[in-house]
Structure 1
Amino acid sequence: MNIRFDGKRALVTGAGRGIGRGIVKKLAECGAECLALSKTPENLESLKNEMPEIQTIMVDLADWTATRHALENVGKIDLLVNNAAIMIMSPFLETAKDDLDKVLDVNFKAVFNISQIVARGMVERGDGGAIVNVSSILSRRAVRNAASYCSSKGAMDSLTQVMANELGSHKIRVNSVHPHLIPSTEMGNSIAVTLPPGAQEYVLTRTPLGRFPDVEDVVNAVVFLLSDKASSINGIALPIEGGYEAN
């Protein structure tokens, strides 16, 4: 399946590393003019050195107003991937308000904020567009010490459904992907090291494919959902977990 995005402009958040970096690079390879957003200058610099054609935006998405200022002159965006996320692990009874606020500011409020900015432009131009929100299987499968993260992804899922419902009439498709644990990423590794001995092996025994997904698995799913090949797909939550939920 040949997917091209020639003439399209794409914005990817959390694009400095991991899944976001993989997505923005793949979109650029497929012909899109890409904007990579991150709060970490070193990550953006290394991305720019690797792929000079990618434009970079440095802003902390936890800051609602700064994000609006950073994107006010960004111009036409046809494709949006809300990928940026943080995780602060702590038991539910010990989770502090400041930590909860930090997680919700990035994982949920920033998605709301950026999607409003981008979708308004799509509606005004009348050309439609596609948005993919990177959620997690933890929005539907609870895990200890991750109350703030699981809740933020659950809120993102609800927002995805509302956006798909309200924006569909404007030819704007909104979907989400739900990856399993990806130990090769920094966040995935931070989760993996907190698991008790044998936990990863046990999870894999319940996963029909017998492996965790990698970054490329998520990238390919996101690129498909953004493309015209998925022109009738709107409001879905796509699991990327090797059949874990089916078992």
Structure 2
Amino acid sequence: MLLEGKSVVVTGGNSGIGEAIALAAAREGAKVVIDYVAHPDETKSLIEKIESSGGQAVSVRADVSKVEDLKNMVKTAVDAFGRLDVLVNNAGIETRTSVLDTTEADYDKVLAINLKSAFFGTQLAAKQFIEQGDGGTVVNISSVHEDWPMPGNTAYCVSKGGERMLARTAGVELGPHSIRVVNVCPGAVDTPINDETLEDPEKSKTLKNSIPLRRVAQPSQIAETVVFLASDRGSYITATSVVVDGGIMQGSVGL
């Protein structure tokens, strides 16, 4: 198994892509810490699902925009499993507002949950990795919009652009400690955040026609990429972004 015995923390781990990552990591032998801020019943059900399949998982309620909560999240992994090997910075939100309409509160919330959390999560995980002495991996769930503009969702794009440089710069800084930092950049994924589009026949058709593979991703497909990158098979990949988008960033070419 690709993650046998590894201790893995997944932020926002009880729904959508985060849930898929938690399940995939557990299937590959990881001991999983599921961070959440809402829906404790869903978190409990997810842990039961992992345990019923022979895996190990615990939960921690941590607001990733708060450094003290992030510290507690790392501590939970160490207390439960003796160490931390992989941090997946998955938690994220968007407001779908333009640069003209975004309020200060909107901006602060998006940047705190999407970028501040990834920055300080990386910092705290790296300190734990260094203390352990044998390296570790941070995987940030970024977006194609770290590089591809999305008018009408400016704060989100700014946060993802920041994650792009976080992976590059932190990956270079931390490489000598055998710590890897890499982004995964999904395109359109079948998660609740896209329900409005996918449930509208015309919008769904337009979206799928913009994707060369003519389909949106399933969360499990993003999760499998994360598992690969977190495993020894991805051990020479760092300070970069891996795009998993069905070609959508190039999809307008020739259409």
Q: TM exceeds 0.5?
A: yes
The correspondence for 1:9, drawn from 4, 7, 11, is: 7
**AA partner of residue 42 (structure 2):** N
Aligned AA for 1:89? Answer: R
The letter of the residue matching 1:55 is: V
**More displaced, 208-217 or 44-53?**
44-53
d(CA) in 2 for partners of 1:149 and 1:155? 10
Residue 34, structure 1, aligned to residue 32, structure 2: yes
Paired residue secondary structure (2:151): coil
Distance 2:202 2:145 in 1: 19
* Residue deviations 1:56-81 (CA, integer Å, cap 9, x gap): 01111122333324434542110111
For the 8 Å contact 2:2–2:227, the answer to whether it is kept is: no
1:148 is aligned to 2:155:
yes
Which residue is 1:240 aligned to?
Answer: 244
CA contact (8 A) 2:4 2:28 kept: yes
Deviation at 1:36, TM superposition (A): 0.7
Question: How many residues are paired up?
Answer: 242
Give the Å deviation of 1:43. Answer: 2.7
How far does residue 93 in structure 1 lie from its aligned partner after superposition?
Answer: 0.8
Output the CA distance in 2 between the equivalents of 1:215 and 1:74: 24
Query: Of residues 19, 38, 50 in structure 2, which corresponds to 1:21?
Result: 19
2:167 alignment partner, one of 127, 151, 160: 160
User: Could you tell me how far 1:142 is from its partner in structure 2?
Assistant: 1.7
Cα separation, partners in 2 of 1:12 and 1:161, compared to 1, 3 Å = same
Matched residue type, 2:22: V
Secondary structure in structure 2 of the residue aligned to 1:54 = strand
| TM-score normalized with structure 1 length | 0.91
> Superposition pairs for residues 25-104 of structure 1, below 5 Å?
25-40=23-38, 41-52=40-51, 53-72=56-75, 74-75=77-78, 76-104=83-111
Deviations 1:95-142 (A, max 9, x none): 110111111110000111111111111112220111110001122222
Q: Distance in 2 between matches of 1:171 and 1:152?
A: 26
Give the Cα separation in 2 of the matches to 1:61 and 1:144. Answer: 26
Letter in 2 for 1:42: D
Matched residues in 1 for 2:159 and 2:64: separation? 15
Per the TM alignment, residue 24 of structure 1 is displaced from its structure 2 partner at its CA by 0.8
Matched, 1:106 2:113: yes
1:87, CA displacement in angstroms? 1.1
TM-fit CA distance, 1:45: 1.9
Structure 1 pair 200–5 and aligned structure 2 pair: CA distance change class (3 A): same
**1:9: how far off?**
0.7
Identical aligned pairs, as a percentage? 31
Do the aligned partners of 2:24 and 2:220 also contact (CA within 8 Å) in 1?
no
Instruction: Return 5+ residue gaps in structure 2 as ranges.
Output: none
Deviation of the 1:203 alpha carbon? 3.9
Q: Alignment RMSD, CA only?
A: 2.0
2:192 counterpart of 1:186: yes
TM-score, length basis structure 2: 0.88
Please tell me whether the aligned partners of residues 87 and 187 of structure 1 are also in contact (alpha carbons under 8 angstroms): no
